[in-house]
Amino acid sequence: MIDLYTWPTPNGHKVHIMLEECGLYYKIIPININKGDQFQPEFLQISPNNKMPAIVDHNGPDGAAYPAFESGAILMYLAEKKGQFLPTGMAPRYTVIQWLMFQLGGVGPMLGQAPFQRLCA
């Protein structure tokens, strides 16, 4: 079972989609960023940068609970856990990682800012 600490944001949705695509069982634990839940000490133990989404995989490496934060790292972790979406060959693997980094650093932030920019125009 995976605990998914999230709020309905684009980064949170990415992890929901990946969990569904991988067929992994998960429980949603809401982190209400409007009320400051991301600053609670319990959450900071899982996500020390106070950002969500974050997960705790209760069947992580070596069967131990494993926390992960940052949407890109979580996506890579889940892909490797399930053996899906992240090739093992070096060239195809880094092709996927390059596109993931492009989404995380370019497309994702730009689309997230678009509604605000449109309002200011």
pLDDT digits (tens, 9 = 90+) for 30-58: 999 999 999 999 999 999 999 999 999 99
Asked whether the predicted pLDDT for residue 110 surpasses 90, the reply is no
3-state secondary structure the chain: CEEEEECCCHHHHHHHHHHHHHCCCEEEEECCCCCCHHHCHHHHHHCCCCCCCEEEECCCHHHCCEEEECHHHHHHHHHHHHCCCCCCCHHHHHHHHHHHHHHHHHHHHHHHHHHHHHHHC
Mean pLDDT for the stretch of residues 90-118? 78
- Return the domain boundaries, the chain: 2-86, 87-121
pLDDT-derived band at 10 (thresholds 50, 70, 90) equals confident
pTM for the model stands at 0.88
| Span 53-101, pLDDT tens digits | 999 999 999 999 999 999 999 999 999 999 999 999 999 999 999 999 9
- pLDDT score for 43: 98
The per-residue pLDDT for 9 is 87
Residue 118: is its pLDDT beyond 90?
no
Question: Which CATH number is 2-86's, of 3.90.1150.10, 2.160.20.60, 1.10.287.470, 3.40.30.10?
Answer: 3.40.30.10
